[in-house]
Amino acid sequence: METVVSGIRPTGNLHLGNYFGAMKNFVAMQQDFNSFFFIADYHSLTTHPHPKDLHDTVRQVVAEYLACGIDPEKSTLYLQSDVPETAELYLFMNMLAYVGELERSTSFKDKIRKHPDNVNAGLLTYPVLMASDIILHRADKVPVGKDQTQHLEMTRDFAQRFNRVYETEYFPLPTAFNFSQELVKVPGLDGSGKMGKSEGEGNAIFLIDEPAAIRKKVMRALTDSGPKEINSQKPEVIQNIFLLMKLVSADDTLKFFENAFNNCTIRYGDMKKQLAEDIIHFTTPIREKVNAYYSDAAYLHKVLAQGEEKARASAAKTIKEVREIIGFRKF
Ligand code: ADP
Ligand code: TRP
């Protein structure tokens, strides 16, 4: 059976981009794959969160993952920091990663640009830690959004380098995965290309947003004065609204507005009203479950303890074999 691994950093609430980029696919796969999903809390240390904030956010995101449908009976749901084998593999893999290739990664260059005052070594080696998360369970598939393509390429490079250096085929070369064949990029509402929690105010719709907040954000989404010619090309901001509608609305609804766009009768106000209601319809059951999970500390504890045990068993096996391959052998 193939193995699937994915994780999300606990840096804020889940939004529609996280859901459609990563979570939805993971949930669909957990039945048929050997599945691991983790809260990437080691990764979140690059921005030095306050200990209390880190702890609170982790609890919140665990509740959100469960509400999205991660089933701890089918998947191993664990906290990255509960599995220190991750850090040991990260150490080994750092010896195989070149500073030059890490410096060239687009996410690193992006981070330097956005936070020139905090260019720590952990940021540089972020792709090595991510690769370690994945190969720790010898994963084949990784459900993530389109923005993670380069990280997955680097993961394959590191895994392949390990295999070459140690003359083995120990690690499979994992690929980014989405059932729709193509990786997904969910657009933001402010005209920026990507929905993300660190983008501007109003860009992202969070799964726990109340209906009033969702209506407000959607109604403020950028549009323009409308098409002037029959069957014209959609400008990017308009494409974005259609992309969101494709994710949450019924096919008929989408078709109705496509036709209205093509024959220039579209009213973006109406379209956004419909989109807001369809998002609310989609997120409401999730939002209602988040609160129930969040308040059940005993259940959260049990789920994570069980996840820790299963993840450590898998990780310990890999580490034992990797140590052997590397030459750390008993006399
Ligand atoms: P953010 O960009 O909000 O900080 P993360 O970087 O923590 O989100 O992403 C966690 C997961 O969600 C990754 O698999 C990422 O590819 C996916 N993801 C985040 N934003 C989007 C988006 N707008 N479209 C598709 N997938 C996304
Ligand atoms: N880098 C991913 C992100 O920013 C999070 C992540 C860390 C991850 N380790 C991973 C995703 C392993 C998949 C598998 O979204």
What ligand has the least distance to the C-alpha of 40? 2
> Which pLDDT tens digit goes with each residue over 211-240?
999 999 999 999 999 999 999 999 999 999
Active site residue 234: no
Question: Tell me, what's the pLDDT at 145?
Answer: 92
> Which pLDDT tens digit goes with each residue over 307-326?
999 999 999 999 999 999 99
Regions of the chain where pLDDT drops below 70: none
Ligand 1 pocket list (CB less than 6 A): 8-9, 11, 17-18, 21-22, 144-148, 184-186, 194-198
Question: Tell me, what's the pLDDT at 68?
Answer: 97
Which CATH code is given to the segment(s) 197-290? 1.10.240.10
Q: Which atom of ligand 2 is nearest to the CA of 130?
A: 9
- Give the Å distance between the CA of 164 and the centre of ligand 1: 32
What ligand has the least distance to the C-alpha of 182? 1
Query: Active site residue: 74, 185, 197, 289, which one?
Result: 197
The C-alpha atoms of residue 173 and residue 169 are separated, in whole angstroms, by 10
Question: Tell me, what's the pLDDT at 53?
Answer: 95
Tokens of 73: 């009976």
Question: Tell me, what's the pLDDT at 318?
Answer: 98
Domain layout of the chain by residue ranges: 3-184+297-326, 197-290
- Give the Å distance between the CA of 6 and the centre of ligand 2: 6
- Give the Å distance between the CA of 207 and the centre of ligand 1: 13
**CA distances in angstroms from 260 to 27, 102, 245, 271, listed in the order given:** 35, 47, 14, 10
Question: Tell me, what's the pLDDT at 25?
Answer: 93
Q: Are 41 and 79 in contact (CB under 8 A)?
A: yes
Tokens of 36: 């691991």
Residue nearest to atom 15 of ligand 2 (CA): 8
The C-alpha atoms of residue 190 and residue 240 are separated, in whole angstroms, by 10
**Class of domain 3-184+297-326 as given by CATH:** alpha beta
Active site residue 197: yes
Question: Tell me, what's the pLDDT at 181?
Answer: 80
Phi, psi for 35 (deg, rounded to 5): -115, 135
